[in-house]
């Protein structure tokens, strides 16, 4: 765990006018330790080491606040579920298995600026960031009995 990551999150919370509560501190610890994306229920399970009574609603609210402040980014899964990853992790894109829900990050090295400019011209939006998720079946699920049946 990198204590400076936790300190940075907590200081940014204070600077934005938010209180540093025990649940927010617990979620900050979990995110600082995480090397990959986590679903909210896993964030809650791990946060209970620091705040035993933390509820799932509190975890969702904290993750929403941390997303708004740019500490984490949301990863959308096809079934409507959401995972969260620290925003300081590499700006990768994600492969999401529709069957087992495994998420694999791959580096975003392609230059998407021409596509983004075209979308801006067509829609009038000013695009500030992007996230690419490709949905499909991982190799294990493709070879599972019944696939394609």
Structure confidence by residue, pLDDT tens digits, 48-100 = 999 999 999 999 999 999 988 888 888 776 566 788 877 765 566 778 888 88
Compute φ and ψ for 92, nearest 5 degrees: -95, 175
β-pairing, 133-136 vs 92-97, is: parallel
Please choose, from the candidates 94, 93, 97, the residue with its C-alpha nearest in 3D space to the C-alpha of residue 109.
Answer: 93
Alpha helix segments (H runs only) across 36-112: 40-47, 56-68
- CATH 3.30.1490.190 domain span(s) along the chain: 90-142
Superfamily for 90-142? Ferric-uptake regulator, C-terminal dimerisarion domain (3.30.1490.190)
Neighbours of 92 (CB within 10 A): 16
Say how far apart CA 92 and CA 88 lie, in whole Å. Answer: 11
pLDDT of residue 42 exceeding 90, the answer is yes
- CATH 1.10.10.10 domain span(s) along the chain: 1-88
Domain 1-88 is found in CATH 1.10.10.10: yes
pTM for this model (two decimals): 0.63
């Amino acid at each position: 765990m990198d204590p400076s990551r936790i300190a940075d999150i907590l200081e940014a919370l204070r600077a934005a006018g938010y209180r540093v509560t025990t649940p927010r501190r617990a979620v900050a610890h979990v995110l600082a330790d995480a090397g990959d994306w986590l679903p909210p229920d896993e964030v809650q399970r791990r946060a209970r080491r620091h705040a035993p009574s933390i509820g799932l609603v509190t975890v969702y609210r904290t993750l929403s606040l941390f997303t708004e402040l740019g500490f984490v980014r949301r990863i959308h899964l096809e079934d409507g579920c959401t995972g969260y990853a620290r925003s300081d992790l590499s700006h990768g894109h994600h492969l999401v298995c529709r069957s087992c829900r495994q998420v694999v990050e791959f580096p975003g090295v392609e230059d998407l600026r021409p596509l983004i400019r075209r979308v801006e011209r067509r829609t009038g939006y000013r695009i500030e960031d992007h996230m690419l998720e490709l949905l499909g079946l991982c190799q294990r699920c493709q070879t599972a009995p019944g696939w394609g049946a």
